[in-house]
Amino acid sequence: MKIIQALFIFSFTAFLMIGCSSTEEDPANANNSDKLTVYTSVYPFQYAVEQIGGDSVEAKTVYPPGADAHTYEPTSKDMTAIADSDAFIFIGDGMEGFATSAADALANQDVELIEIGKYKELFHGHGGGDNHDHSDHTEDGHNHGEDSHGHDEDHEHDGSEHNHEHDNSENSDTEDGHDHDGHSHGTTSDSHEENSVSITIDGLAGHYHTGDSIQLTAHLSEDSDHDHWHWYTLEPGADDWETVPDNGTATFGGEATIDGQQIKAVLFGDDHEVVAESEAVTISIDDHTGDHDPHLWIDPLRMIEISRIIKDELIALNPDAEADYNANFEGLEAELLGLDKEFSELLATKENKYIMVPHAAYGYWEERYGVKQIAISGLSTSQEPSQKQLTEVISQAEEHNLDYILYEQNSPNRLSEVIQEQIGAEDLTIHNLSVLTDEDIKNKEDYISLMRYNLEILDQVTK
Three-state secondary structure readout of 346-397: HHCCCCCCEEEEEECCCHHHHHHHCCEEEEEECCCCCCCCCHHHHHHHHHHH
pLDDT for 441 beyond 70? yes
413-417 long-range CB contacts below 8 Å, 24 or more apart? 413/358, 415/358, 415/376, 415/377, 415/384, 415/385, 415/390, 416/356, 416/358, 416/376
Q: Which residue has the higher pLDDT, 152 or 368?
A: 368
Strand ranges (DSSP E) for 117-204? Answer: 179-180, 183-184, 199-202
pLDDT grade for 104, boundaries at 50, 70 and 90: confident
Q: Which residue has the higher pLDDT, 150 or 55?
A: 55
**pLDDT-wise least confident of 76-85, 97-106, 152-161, 382-391:** 152-161
Q: Which residue has the higher pLDDT, 55 or 93?
A: 55
Half-sphere exposure of 245 (CA within 13 A, CB side): 0
Q: pLDDT > 70: what percent of the chain? A: 75
Report the mean per-residue pLDDT for the chain. Answer: 81
Mean pLDDT of 173-178: 42
Mean pLDDT of 64-79: 92
Mean pLDDT of 186-200: 60
pLDDT for 167 beyond 50? no
* CA-based torsion, 364, 451, 374, 436: positive or negative: negative
Mean pLDDT of 18-22: 45
pLDDT for 192 beyond 60? no
pLDDT for 105 beyond 90? no
How many angstroms separate the CA atoms of 451 and 454, rounded? 5
Mean pLDDT of 161-183: 41
Mean pLDDT of 59-65: 97
The per-residue pLDDT for 143 is 41
Closest Cα to residue 74, out of 128, 8, 135? 8
Residue 240 class from Cβ within 10 Å (0-12 exposed, 13-18 middle, 19+ buried)? exposed
Q: Which residue has the higher pLDDT, 50 or 136?
A: 50
3-class secondary-structure state, position 200? strand
How many angstroms separate the CA atoms of 277 and 200, rounded? 9
Mean pLDDT of 34-51: 97
Ordered structural domains, the chain, with CATH: 2-154+293-337 (3.40.50.1980), 169-282 (2.60.40.1930), 349-461 (3.40.50.1980)
pLDDT for 160 beyond 50? no
What does each C-alpha distance from 364 to 20, 74, 124, 209, 234 come to in angstroms?
A: 41, 28, 8, 26, 36
Mean pLDDT of 202-221: 86
How many angstroms separate the CA atoms of 260 and 262, rounded? 6
Mean pLDDT of 54-75: 94
The per-residue pLDDT for 95 is 82
Closest Cα to residue 199, out of 273, 274, 255? 274
Radius of gyration, alpha carbons of the chain:
26
Q: Which residues contact 417 (CB under 8 A, 6 or more apart)?
A: none
What does each C-alpha distance from 340 to 42, 304, 463 come to in angstroms?
A: 20, 10, 20
pLDDT grade for 173, boundaries at 50, 70 and 90: very low
Mean pLDDT of 41-49: 98
How many angstroms separate the CA atoms of 79 and 60, rounded? 13
Most confident of 116-130, 154-168, 209-223, 418-432: 418-432
The per-residue pLDDT for 6 is 44
CB–CB of 240/262 below 8 Å? no
The per-residue pLDDT for 29 is 40
Containing 452, the helix (H) or strand (E) segment is helix 447-461
pLDDT for 153 beyond 90? no
> Over the stretch 282-311, which tens digit does the pLDDT of each residue have?
998 765 544 578 999 999 999 999 999 999
Q: Which residue has the higher pLDDT, 130 or 355?
A: 355
